[in-house]
A and B are shown apart, each in its own frame.
Chain A
Amino acid sequence: MSGNKVLGLSGNEAVAYAIKQANVDVIAAYPITPQTIIVERLSEYVNNGELNAAFIPVESEHSAISTCVGASLTGARVFTATSSQGLALMHEILHIAASLRAPIVMAIANRALSAPINIHCDHSDIMNARDTGWIIMFAENVQEAYDLVLQAFKIAESHEVLLPVAVNLDGFILSHSLEGVNVLDDDEVSKFLPKRQPIYPVDFEKPVTYGPLALPDYFFEIKRQQAEAMEGAKPVIERVGIEYGKLSNREYKPIKAFGMEDAEVAVVALGSSVGTLRAVARRFRKKGRKIGVLGLTLFRPFPREELIKYLEGVKVLIILDRAISYGSSGGPLYLEIAGVLYRSGLRPIVLNVIYGLGGRDLRPSDVEAIYEEGFKCAERGRAERELLWVGVRE
């Protein structure tokens, strides 16, 4: 068990600290708010001799992720970090990184996409990248950002997975918030994360061609295998979460559930809002109102079966989206869950809440109003409006 070392770290610093302990070999990154402090800290670690890694200060995010792909294929342990426009600029290569089965860990300090330009939190950046083939995880607080980054290497580099992993932490809300973080000892981390063992490293005796052209006679099979790899990652993610729990006393599951044993109204969300949702739910619970909260740590692969298990008996399900899917029938998380529900046969009343774009706060009073609306729907047995915009002047 870990020595109880607690450090005061911001989300960005906690990520950088985890990367140092993970003994990465190559870091390639480009500055962008609110992620920048991660790479500043990492370059300090490298320049002060605390981390023996190549820090490659590239000239764009496109080159950052390209450099990471090249480095990953050599068998190195690789990390990058970005936000918003930077992630959008990487987009083309995100697909290729996953398709080449290149383990890379990326921290994303989530930030709104332009225009208007805005540096504050929402999930439009990662939601725009949700179908790139990356494993996608969300931290609720700084502790989780630290813990998930360490687990991410173990997952990405597993021979059963070989996929890149994105760990999301809400821009500013987590990236710049100071928290007391329980950190592992360096040697515990080295035991949990020994040196990467690449499965097909660059070999000069038996040279491999990486990234060939595949025409209609083979392309489809390769993509099918990639889809299988994503599904196959689920048991590995669960196993790593349990193993990490034994090490740290903080076990990770794809979904964090609060009050779901008897919840009539349940709310599901990603990122730092989950904490606010839980705090307000505790107050409701004290008044005997049956509210439950589901925080998704894992978004890709989507924890379908686990989610369904929690939803039996739920009358109203409220899905919170911090991003828009323009012109569709709801936000990205809503669309995801609506599909899962349809297949499961469960038919709760579903409300979709769009909130918090461009860093607009989700206040406890907003959450109370959302819950009240949920209970009203439960009473009436129907929803008057299925899509709610919360916290916006209309």
Chain B
Amino acid sequence: MSFIKTIKDIPKEEYLAPGHRLCAGCGAAIAIRLALKALRGPTVIVNATGCIEVATTIYPYTSWRVPWIHVAFENAAAVASGVAEAFKIMEKKYGVKRPDVIAIGGDGGTFDIGLQALSGALERGHKMLYICYDNEAYMNTGIQRSGATPRGAATTTSPAGRVIPGKLERKKDLIEIAVAHGVPYAATASIAYPVDYINKVRKALETEGPTVIHVLTPCVPGWRIDPSQTITIARLAVETLVFPVYEVENGKYRINVMVKKPKPLEEYLKLQGRFKHLLLPENKWLLDKLKEDVKWKWERLLKLSNL
């Protein structure tokens, strides 16, 4: 495969075998399955501890049809650095075939505990792709807030209480952090736009140097959504501007899914139990803040894209 035009062009090969123990409707499972459709040859996956790791490799079973390495939670980028550089030098010294290297981490393993390792790897400039599947909380341990949890969301460590109605702080901006390292390619992607997403993974693999893809992955138990609505909600995140789909190539910003007439944010929120309290009149102040976050980011993106 090179770049694809429609979903009909998506390769049939499955590198994430069925039978894993991820939830029905798991957005992360879809994100990883789709990413693997973009492989261009021998590839090593380095996976941080998290939902994808625990649910796909319960010994003695594995869902991975590509070489796969898990070491710990916070170090996927560092382990991938070692894999990438080892193959690079062994190609030079011994003629060993050099594969693509993809590191995968959830939002906890990327935005929070793995951020230092990621920053180091991006600064050192290894040829590797880092994919963050972002379900906006520590879902594997039971829905605790992370630096990626959006303002207002209820989690088990930012519950919608009578005094504090959910997470008060805004979400970190992973792509801006990556861009600040001067990486040649960084992009957001949505599982509701699989052609765009798969092409981005492919483009990242074909880029020299470190690349980052941030994909939003709705979580059925964590977001308290209906398993049949994963893709609908992922699409609404884009249509309400909560999660703009864009890329930054050598510093140049491009919005890939232009939203001319954004839908009201409430359409996205009302389908999710984690935001139920935000729609109550007494919490309007917090909802307004979330709306400001969304507006600020989108306007900034338009400016950066020269639109």
Contacts and interface: CB of A to CB of B under 8 A. Distances in A.
Interface residues of B, number: 47
Given A57-B124, A62-B74, A207 B82 contact: no
A76 to B, nearest CB: 4
Nearest to B80: A70
A14 to B, nearest CB: 24
A98 to B, nearest CB: 12
Given A203-B67, A215-B59, A66 B89 contact: no
Interface residues of A, number: 45
Interface in A175-216: 195, 202-204, 207-215
A52 B92 CA distance: 9
A213 B87 CA distance: 26
B85 interface: yes
Cβ-closest 8 pairs across A and B: A70-B82, A59-B120, A212-B57, A67-B82, A211-B70, A71-B82, A70-B79, A66-B75
A61 to B, nearest CB: 10
Contact of A63 (B64, B78, B93): B78
B300 to A, nearest CB: 29
A72 B69 CA distance: 11
B86 A76 contact: yes
B42 interface: yes
A210 B60 CA distance: 11
Given A54-B86, A76-B90, 13 more contacts: A25-B86, A25-B93, A52-B89, A54-B88, A58-B124, A59-B119, A60-B116, A62-B75, A67-B81, A69-B71, A203-B67, A213-B54, A218-B60
Contact of A70 (B46, B64, B93, B120): B46
Given A208-B67, A212-B59, A218-B60, A58 B97 contact: no
B72 to A, nearest CB: 6
B89 A62 contact: no
Interface in B59-117: 59-60, 62, 64-72, 74-75, 77-83, 85-90, 92-94, 96-97, 99, 116-117
Given A56-B124, A76-B89, A70 B81 contact: yes
Contacts of B226: none
Interface string B39-58: 00011101000000110011
Interface in B135-189: none
